[in-house]
Structure 1
C-alpha cells in the first residue's frame, strides 16, 4: 500500500502542481515515503477510468482539483484519510463554490497557501492549516553578491498573466529612457507581441532552466490588479525573486503585504507613478539596492521547502493515524 496518493491537475507543468507537489519529491524520497502523483483530466469518462484504477493509500491528497461531489463520495469510501490542498481562490465561481464546499466538508484536513484562503476554508472545515508555497533554496540561489549596479529587470509567469504588466508599460518605458543601460525581460511560455514591441526581451520558459533564467535578474516585478481572486494569490513570484537575490517590486495586494516589508526587503508601490519611482530608486542607488537584496534573500529562507515539509508531514501522516 502507498503512503500517499496525490490527485491533481493536468498537465504536469502546472505551477501549482509542480511547486506544491513535485517539488517535495526529493523530501518524500529522503523520508522513505512511498507515493504516487496522478493527474486527473477534465473529461468525465477519462477521469472515471483513472479513479477506478487508483491504488490504495494511507492518505489521499487532493491537490487543488475541484472534483465533482459524486466523485469525491466515491473516493471517501475508499480512503480513510483525505487532505485537500489549494493555493488560489478557486471557490469564487458558482460551480467552483459548490464543489469547494463539498470537498472541504468531506476532507479530514485542509492545507491553504495563505491566510486569506484559510479564512475562506474555515467556514466549512475546522482543521485548516496555512502552508505557503515553498521554494527550493538548493536550486534557486543568488549567483553573486557583488552586483555593482542593477540593470536587468524581469518578470516570470504564464502567458495569461502578462496582462498585469500592460497598464505599467508606459512607466517602464520612461524608466528605460532615463536609465538607458536597463534591460527588461519576461520569462514566459509564449512570446507576447505587445511586450516585444515595447522592447522587452523574451526568454522562453523551461522548467529545467527556470532557476538559471531567474538568477540573471537583478529586480523582479509582480504587478497585480486588486481583485478578490488576486487577493488569494500566494506571492510565489516574489518569493522566487527573493530567493535568487532580486528585490521584488510588487503590488500591495493580498499576501504580498505580509511577504514584503516595504523599503526593507522589497517595494510595494500603489500607483503607476510610485512604480516608476521604485524602479528608479533601486536602479540609481546601488547601496540601497544591495541592502534590500540581502534582506530579500533572508526573507526567502522562511519559505525553504525543507522547513515547510516539517509542517506538512504530520498533516499528511498524523502520528495517531
Structure 2
C-alpha cells in the first residue's frame, strides 16, 4: 500500500479546540497507517490569544495577513494526493474567490464539527446572508467527501448534494483520561468545562446549581469561565479555574458529575457533545440537555441523565449527589461507551479509510 500524502488546511494550531480534536490528535495514528500529513494552519496561536484575550480588534487587523500567507501556500506547487480542509479555506470570502483558489487544493475532503454554515445563513447581516448564505453548501458539494461530526451536520451536507458524507464523531484520546472514582467523597463536585464564549449555558441553570449545592451538599467547579462568574454563585462553594490543554484531564478527573446544559437552537444542534465525552472518559456520570447529538451520546438512566427543564435538572443532580453507587455505575457505563465509539482508538481506522478512499475517488 502506497503512502498517502495529505495537506491539512486547518483553521488553527493546537490552541484551537476544533483543529486539535478533529485533525491534529489523529496525526500520529494516521502516520502509523501510511498517511503523512503536512499541516498548513490559517491562524497562529497569537491570533487566538488576541481574540480570546480581550483584543478582538487586534486579531481582526492581522487576519488579512494570514489570508495572504494561505494564498501563497495554495499557489505553491504541491505533490499531495489529497487536501484536508477544516470547514473552508477562507472565512468570510465569497465562494467564487474560494473556488478559484481551491483549484490548487484538489481533490479535497472537508470536515465540520459545528454548524459553521449558520454563521452565514443565519447572520443578522442581510449582506452576509445574501453573499455567503450558501457558500458552505457549495464547498460541501464540490468535495470528494464531507466528514461530519454528527447527524445534524451530515444532513446539511446531504441537502447540499455532497457526493459522499461520513459521520466521524469528535473523540478523546482515552489514554489521557484515566477513569476515576470518588465514592467516599463527602461533598461531590459538579463540574462544567467550556470557555467564556459558552459560559452562558452554565448560567442558564444557575438557580438549579445553587439549589443543588446549597448547605454544602455539593461543590461547583467551572473550568474555562471568566473569574468574575464566581460572583454569580454567591453563597455556595464554587471554584472558577482556568483551562489549559495540559490540565483539563486532571481537572475533570477531580469532578464527580459532569454537566452540559444547552439551549435548543440551530447552532447548538450542530455541536458534537465533546464535554460529555470528556466527562465519560473519566468515568463520570453526566447530566445534559437533550439537544442535538447529546441525545445520542447520553443513554438516559444508563450513563447519565437527559434534562429538558429545570425540574429534570433538579431530579438528576439530586439522585447523583445522594448516591455514590449510582455515580459509579453510570460512570463505568459512560467510560465503556467512550472506548467503544468516542475514542481515538475506535475512530482512527475509520478516518484513515475515509482519507484513502476519498483520494482513490
**Would the aligned equivalents of 1:114 and 1:232 in 2 still touch at CA under 8 Å?**
yes
1:145-186 CA distance string (max 9 Å, x none): x623570110001111000111211111111114x1521001
Residue 61 of structure 1: which of 77, 84, 105 is its match?
84
Matched, 1:315 2:354: yes
Deviation, 1:277, is 1.4
Shift in CA distance, 275/36, structure 1 to aligned 2, threshold 3 Å: same
Q: Which runs of no fewer than 5 residues in structure 2 stay unpaired?
A: 44-59, 122-127
Q: What is aligned with 2:27?
A: 25
RMSD value over aligned CA atoms? 2.1
Distance 2:4 2:328 in 1: 47
Distance 2:27 2:205 in 1: 38
Matched, 1:135 2:172: yes
Q: Which moved more, 1:90-99 or 1:239-248?
A: 90-99
**Would the aligned equivalents of 1:245 and 1:294 in 2 still touch at CA under 8 Å?**
yes
Q: What is aligned with 1:85?
A: 111
Q: Which runs of no fewer than 5 residues in structure 1 stay unpaired?
A: none
Matched, 1:230 2:268: yes
Runs of 4+ more than 4 Å apart:
none
Matched, 1:52 2:72: yes
Distance 1:298 1:12 in 2: 27
**Would the aligned equivalents of 2:303 and 2:331 in 1 still touch at CA under 8 Å?**
yes
Matched, 1:255 2:301: no
**Would the aligned equivalents of 1:90 and 1:97 in 2 still touch at CA under 8 Å?**
no
Q: TM-score, normalised by structure 2?
A: 0.82
- The DSSP-based 3-state class of the residue aligned with 1:37 is strand
Distance 1:288 1:306 in 2: 28
- The DSSP-based 3-state class of the residue aligned with 1:297 is helix
Shift in CA distance, 269/217, structure 1 to aligned 2, threshold 3 Å: same
Q: TM-score, normalised by structure 1?
A: 0.92
Deviation, 1:239, is 0.7
Shift in CA distance, 101/320, structure 1 to aligned 2, threshold 3 Å: closer
Residue 188 of structure 2: which of 151, 162, 169 is its match?
151
Q: What is aligned with 1:239?
A: 277
Q: Which moved more, 1:100-109 or 1:34-43?
A: 34-43
**Would the aligned equivalents of 1:58 and 1:79 in 2 still touch at CA under 8 Å?**
no
**Would the aligned equivalents of 1:215 and 1:244 in 2 still touch at CA under 8 Å?**
yes
- The DSSP-based 3-state class of the residue aligned with 2:88 is coil
Residue 278 of structure 1: which of 316, 327, 335 is its match?
316
- The DSSP-based 3-state class of the residue aligned with 2:35 is coil
Shift in CA distance, 74/98, structure 1 to aligned 2, threshold 3 Å: same
Instruction: Give the paired residue count.
Output: 318
Matches for 1:282-321 after TM superposition, within 5 Å = 282-301=320-339, 302-318=341-357, 320=360
- The DSSP-based 3-state class of the residue aligned with 1:126 is coil
**Would the aligned equivalents of 1:153 and 1:184 in 2 still touch at CA under 8 Å?**
yes
Distance 1:88 1:280 in 2: 32
**Would the aligned equivalents of 2:8 and 2:83 in 1 still touch at CA under 8 Å?**
yes
Distance 2:143 2:101 in 1: 11
- The DSSP-based 3-state class of the residue aligned with 1:121 is helix
Matched, 1:167 2:201: no
